[in-house]
């Protein structure tokens, strides 16, 4: 009997993705760095927070819409940019279409497997993500291309250390899919024939290149590892470099990867429009606290000056409500939509967004509000010692980065 393609929870999408994907592909999605303490805390911390529901005074209609970086969205959930999406032949284009169908903003990684022109055409509300990688001239060219394609904002990710050390082992990812790689990966792929068959029907093999990093003068796009090597060879940025990037882009600018109050204040001084409280989904420095624990301190410090979004561990609409109550304007999701994409393509991503919408709506209803903008810490049961404040004693003046 064929399984119903619709699923009721993100957890079910994950279970289906695990059954469908080759073990190496699935392993690349779920594994955190080192012990995996941060990825575990990202998830468990949400469960430590409780709701304080109201019994009377509920609203028959609830408004879940907001704006992020000036762009309207029907749901305070953004598609977080993730690299090469080899879970489905349509990759980021399918995700962009799903997000557009639900009125949600699409985040596109510069390491994506689909070009920004195709993704922005599928979803006009696309934000382009950039790493500090390559020369300044190269980064300007990449920003110019994204701007020309219609990207409405720039996401700059600076928290990436890409730890390969995992206690359960790192999945073997080839630099490119050729005959030699196919033979080596066959034991993982053969037991998952449906995944391979979808690529065969599409007329293409999993693409591990990054077309958004193709040189403007022509030539081949680098592989993911080629792009990674470029990043490794680039001198890490200073706050002055962040300010330069923001000025070169000249539009809405989100700095992703903030976990410290002093960094958040420096970001404000550099002129960013928004910050994302993020620990790279547990793939950066392990034992970094869950983002929901450090969100309140950052929102309190800079939330009246820039927009604050949260990234990490969101699996339910209730998680979205908790993040908004603690000061986030919206959340970003990564693994959740990738599991939906693996489980059922574009419809699977739409399914995940519908699940989050339903859960958020239920929370807003039960808490007695008419809008997501009414959520506050008073709606939550916050246990003693739940929050973490990092880097709160240092305040650097704007003149220091000028």
107 bridge partner residues: 127
Q: Determine what percent of the chain is predicted with pLDDT higher than 90.
A: 72
Residue 181 pLDDT level (bands cut at 50, 70, 90): low
CA–CA distances in Å: residue 145 to residues 105, 123, 142: 19, 16, 5
The answer to whether the CB of 323 falls within 8 A of the CB of 294 is no
pLDDT at 176: 65
- Pairwise CA distance, residues 198 & 175, whole Å: 21
Q: Which residue has 């001198």 as its token pair?
A: 235
Q: Are 317 and 355 a contacting pair, CB within 8 Å?
A: yes
Task: Tell me what the mean pLDDT of segment 195-210 comes to.
Answer: 78
Q: Is the pLDDT of residue 222 over 60?
A: yes
- 233 has pLDDT over 60: yes
pLDDT of residue 183: 53
Full-model pTM: 0.92
pLDDT digits (tens, 9 = 90+) for 18-34: 999 988 888 888 878 88
Ordered by start, the domain boundaries in the chain are: 10-47+68-171+207-366
Output 4 or 361, whichever has higher pLDDT.
Answer: 361
Cα 43 from chain centroid (whole Å): 15
Half-sphere exposure at residue 389, Cβ-oriented, CA atoms within 13 angstroms = 12
User: Does residue 393 have a pLDDT over 80?
Assistant: no
Structure tokens belonging to residue 306: 């820039």
Identify the CATH number of the domain defined by range 10-47+68-171+207-366. 3.20.20.70
Residue 207 binned pLDDT confidence (cut-offs 50, 70, 90): confident
Q: What's the CA gap between 314 and 85, in Å, rounded?
A: 19
Q: Which residue has the higher pLDDT, 204 or 340?
A: 340
Q: What is the DSSP string of 179-193?
A: HHHHHHHHHHHTT-H
Least confident segment among 123-132, 173-182, 262-271, 385-394: 173-182
Give the number of other CB atoms < 10 A from CB of residue 236: 8
Give the pLDDT of residue 184. 65
pLDDT score of 402: 31
Q: What is the mean pLDDT of the chain?
A: 90
Q: Compute the average pLDDT of residues 31-41.
A: 90
User: What does the alpha-carbon distance between residue 70 and residue 329 come to, in Å, rounded to a whole number?
Assistant: 12
pLDDT higher than 90, residue 379: yes
User: Does residue 280 have an active-site annotation?
Assistant: yes
Tell me, what's the pLDDT at 84?
Answer: 80
Residue 175 pLDDT grade (very low, low, confident, very high; cuts 50, 70, 90) = low
- Report pLDDT for 174: 62
Residue the block writes with tokens 């609203």: 59
Does 161 or 175 have the greater pLDDT score? 161
What is the spatial distance between Cα 142 and Cα 139, in angstroms, rounded to a whole number? 5
pLDDT given at position 162: 61
Q: What is the mean pLDDT of residues 290-295?
A: 98
Nearest to 240, CA basis, from 396, 385, 54, 353: 396
Tokens of 390: 């990092």
Residue 311 CA: distances (Å) to CA of 47, 49, 256, 276, 280? 16, 17, 9, 7, 8
User: What's the mean pLDDT in 271-279?
Assistant: 97
Q: With bands split at pLDDT 50, 70 and 90, how would you rate the model's confidence at 1?
A: very low
31, 144, 181, 225 from 284: Cα distances, Å: 11, 29, 27, 17
Please tell me the distance from the alpha carbon of residue 290 to that of residue 282, in angstroms, as a whole number: 9
In the set 58, 280, 369, 373, the catalytic residue is 280
The Cα-based distances of 34 to 20, 43, 236, 281, 285 in angstroms read: 26, 17, 23, 13, 8
Residue pLDDT, tens place only, 300-344: 999 999 999 999 999 999 999 999 999 999 999 999 999 999 999
**Res 400: pLDDT:** 34
Q: What is the mean pLDDT of residues 87-95?
A: 94
The whole-angstrom separation of Cα 311 and Cα 291 is 7
- The three-state secondary structure class of 2 is coil
Per-residue pLDDT at 397 exceeds 60: no
């Amino acid at each position: 009997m064929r399984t119903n393609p619709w699923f009721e929870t993100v957890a079910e999408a994950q279970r289906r993705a695990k059954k469908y994907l080759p073990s190496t592909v699935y392993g690349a999605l779920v594994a955190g760095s080192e012990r995996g303490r941060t990825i575990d805390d990202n998830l468990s911390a949400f469960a430590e927070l409780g709701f304080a529901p109201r019994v009377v005074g509920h609203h028959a209609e609830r408004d879940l819409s907001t704006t992020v970086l000036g762009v309207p969205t029907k749901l305070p959930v953004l598609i977080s940019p993730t690299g090469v999406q080899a879970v489905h032949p349509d990759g980021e284009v399918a995700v962009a279409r799903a997000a557009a169908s639900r009125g949600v903003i699409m985040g596109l990684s510069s390491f994506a497997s689909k070009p920004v022109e195709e993704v922005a055409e599928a979803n006009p509300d696309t934000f382009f993500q950039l790493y500090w990688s390559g020369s300044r001239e190269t980064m300007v060219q990449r920003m110019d291309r994204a701007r020309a394609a219609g990207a409405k904002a720039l996401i700059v990710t600076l928290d990436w250390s890409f730890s390969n050390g995992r206690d359960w082992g790192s999945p073997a990812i080839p630099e490119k899919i050729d005959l030699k790689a196919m033979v080596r990966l066959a034991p993982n792929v053969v037991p998952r024939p449906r995944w391979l068959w979808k690529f065969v029907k599409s007329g293409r093999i999993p693409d591990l290149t990054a077309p958004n990093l193709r040189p403007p003068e022509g030539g081949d796009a680098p592989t993911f590892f080629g792009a990674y090597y470029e990043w490794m060879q680039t001198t890490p940025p200073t706050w002055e470099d962040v300010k330069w990037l923001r000025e070169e882009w000249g539009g809405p600018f989100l700095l992703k990867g903030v976990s410290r109050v002093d960094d958040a204040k420096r970001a404000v001084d550099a002129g960013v429009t928004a910050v994302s409280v993020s620990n790279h989904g547990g793939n950066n420095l392990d034992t970094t606290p869950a983002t929901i624990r450090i969100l309140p301190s950052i929102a309190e410090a800079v939330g009246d000056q820039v927009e604050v979004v949260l990234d990490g561990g969101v699996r339910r609409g209730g998680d979205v409500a908790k993040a908004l109550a603690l000061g986030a304007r919206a959340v970003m999701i990564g693994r959740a939509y990738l599991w939906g994409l693996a489980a059922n393509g574009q419809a699977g991503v739409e399914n995940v967004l519908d699940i989050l919408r339903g859960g958020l709506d239920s929370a807003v209803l039960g808490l007695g509000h008419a809008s997501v903008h009414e959520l506050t810490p008073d709606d939550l049961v916050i246990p003693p010692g739940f929050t973490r404040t990092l880097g709160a004693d240092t305040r650097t003046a704007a003149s220091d980065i000028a």
